[in-house]
Structure 1
Amino acid sequence: MNLRTLRTFVEVVRQGGFSQAAEVVSLTQSSVSKAVRTLEDELGTPLFNRIGHKSELTAAGEITYRRALVLLAERSDLVAEIDDLLGLKRGVLRIGLPPVGSGELFAAMFALYRRRYPDIEIQLIEHGSKKLAQCLQAGQVDLAALLVPVEGEFEYQDVRVEPLMVVMPMDHPLAGRAQVNFSDLADSPFILYEAGFALNPIILNACERRGVVPRVTARSAQIDFIVDLVSAGLGVAFLPQMLAHKHLHPGIALTPLNEPRTDWHIALAWRRHAHLPQAARAWLELAREMGNVPAAANG
């Protein structure tokens, strides 16, 4: 049994299939299938129930997946500690960022980090918050930008808190209002984010508290496309204030959302009891320096 095989197995589970996992680990689908069969042969039991084109974990598969996550995370911690022995003249910054807002929050930080630590390799992945939390838990990244509240197993450092704005067509009946809530928007179709984006449950939970069942007409991971859909009259959307103002154009109107517990509160998170490499600690220090956030971590 080797760690490469375990990682391949973990990606099959995480990605929901062999072909999807093959893209992530840069192997052919047949190589991924062979790796899983090899692991099953070593353990002497099937790890998946294969029903047509669908595969579900067996009881042994559930155990193997849970243990594999621990082993892969330990391997990452080992490499990070060895890198720390050599200081910031070498090493890797492994960081996960969401597609929404990362350019505005972190692009300048990347440039300054590169100037200060030119020999640190930066490995960046982009996913929604749900997938990023899974990658962080598995030790695939050392830091991830997640929306608060984060899971109890993580510690975090605040980065930014922004209220949500309602993005609506210029001719929407509520355009020009000082503020709106979800009761006001009950008859308006919603344009939400793709599955796995943490803003979705924030919006939907707030709707539920108001007794509103939204009618979702479209989903996207691309802010430009979401704004274009709003401008075309397909519905209303919700963006953090700084992003809403950046994407403002004559076809849309912006109105503050007056709802409790809907702020876009983003933080840099890491595993609570894991070794945090010097490269990651340097990133956190730079974030405090540039954003004037508190030095103390939350948890």
Structure 2
Amino acid sequence: MKLQQLKYIVEVVNHNLNVSATAESLYTSQPGISKQVRLLEDELGIQIFERSGKHLTQVTSAGEDIIRISQEILARVESIKAVAGEHTHPEMGTLNISTTHTQARYALPDVIKGFTARYPKVSLHMHQGTPTQMSEAIAKGTANFAIATEALHLYQDAIMLPCYHWNRSIVVPKEHPLAQKGKISIEDLASYPLVTYVFGFTGRSELDTAFNKVGLTPRVVFTATDADVIKTYVRMGIGVGVIASMAIDKEQDEDLVAIDASHIFGASTTSIGFRRGTFLRSYMFDFMERFAPHLTRPVVEQALSLKSSSEIEEMFKDIELPVR
């Protein structure tokens, strides 16, 4: 059994059982991957994949267990490399972050600026995606950190640490009737078409929850993953915008009126997540503290020692998080 074989079967699953796409991503040949998969199956005496002709059709029940263990082994191999890097070149390495547009555009720029100045030899890569894609990224090891508001519930081995609370603002053109109103109620919002985030993004669930509590249904006419896109359609008169308050740019959005909506919607919490068992480099601890000052190395290490997400939630319940 070779590590290369384990990597091949994991990558085949990551590429939806498409051996050709797997070979292309690994810069190798399709026959070479097929041969190594067969050799591994022969050695184990069990099928990892079911086939129809030359095509892989699904993972067998035994294969699912083998894939899971292979992912854990490959993650450990990466941890060994990280340990070596920490001792030989502590200020060199790579940091992959998976997040949403709102975090990348409004929450992270100052953090990234300070981090890259402190660690010029660390290669930093940011990937924008959905909560599902972020879950997959930390599960597969293609991202070191995922920064999200919606819980990454699809991946049970993710450790999620709360970073800050935030709420929403209503945005309308200056001539809109709501711009002249004092305090806006949820009933006011219900009478207008809304432009907001796609469900599953940037705390969208809180909007639906608020309307459901009072027996109303929001008339959402346009959704997007990007607050800047939402503001563009507000300017076009498509509807009333509901976006994260941090996404208001006083200079670029001076043509819009932003109205605080924290009395209408419950606050959301942004967290940073990573795979349990990951070896965290010193610069990774530093990044977390820059993003969320209460996440000092001792605090993170204490959270790492806990066995469940409920224990982590209990640990942070008395820590006052910043509000953005």
Same fold (TM over 0.5): yes
Q: Give the Cα separation in 2 of the matches to 1:37 and 1:213.
A: 56
Deviation at 1:77, TM superposition (A): 2.0
Deviation at 1:229, TM superposition (A): 0.7
Deviation at 1:195, TM superposition (A): 5.8
Higher relative contact order (CA 8 A, sep 6+): 1
Equivalent residue for 1:77, pick from 76, 79, 102: 79
Give the aligned residue type for 2:9. L
Equivalent residue, structure 2, for 1:94: 96
Equivalent residue for 2:290, pick from 262, 269, 286: 286
In structure 1, the gaps of 5 or more residues are none
Equivalent residue, structure 2, for 1:8: 11
Q: Give the Cα separation in 2 of the matches to 1:4 and 1:69.
A: 8
1:96·1:125 contact (CA, 8 Å) conserved in 2?
yes
Deviation at 1:232, TM superposition (A): 1.2
2:150·2:202 contact (CA, 8 Å) conserved in 1?
no
Q: Give the Cα separation in 2 of the matches to 1:39 and 1:226.
A: 47
Give the aligned residue type for 1:175. A
In structure 2, the gaps of 5 or more residues are 304-311, 313-324
How large is the RMSD of aligned CA atoms in angstroms? 3.8
Give the aligned residue type for 1:124. M
Number of aligned residues:
287
Equivalent residue, structure 2, for 1:127: 129
Give the aligned residue type for 1:102. A
Equivalent residue, structure 2, for 1:254: 258
Q: Tell which deviates more after alignment, 41-50 or 232-241.
A: 41-50
Alpha-carbon distance change, 205 to 41 in structure 1, aligned in 2, over 3 angstroms: farther
Alpha-carbon distance change, 212 to 115 in structure 1, aligned in 2, over 3 angstroms: same
Equivalent residue for 1:189, pick from 158, 183, 193: 193
Asked whether 1:219 is paired with 2:223, we answer yes
Deviation at 1:42, TM superposition (A): 4.4
Give the aligned residue type for 1:259. I
1:146·1:268 contact (CA, 8 Å) conserved in 2?
yes
Alpha-carbon distance change, 157 to 173 in structure 1, aligned in 2, over 3 angstroms: same
Give the aligned residue type for 1:227. K
SS across alignment from 2:190: coil
Deviation at 1:147, TM superposition (A): 1.6
Q: Give the Cα separation in 2 of the matches to 1:83 and 1:209.
A: 52
Equivalent residue for 2:164, pick from 160, 163, 167: 160
Alpha-carbon distance change, 148 to 224 in structure 1, aligned in 2, over 3 angstroms: closer
Q: TM-score, normalised by structure 1?
A: 0.75
Equivalent residue for 2:111, pick from 109, 112, 130: 109
Alpha-carbon distance change, 5 to 202 in structure 1, aligned in 2, over 3 angstroms: farther
1:190·1:214 contact (CA, 8 Å) conserved in 2?
yes
Q: Give the Cα separation in 2 of the matches to 1:56 and 1:82.
A: 37
Q: Give the Cα separation in 2 of the matches to 1:204 and 1:68.
A: 40
Deviation at 1:119, TM superposition (A): 1.9
Alpha-carbon distance change, 168 to 143 in structure 1, aligned in 2, over 3 angstroms: same
2:138·2:146 contact (CA, 8 Å) conserved in 1?
yes
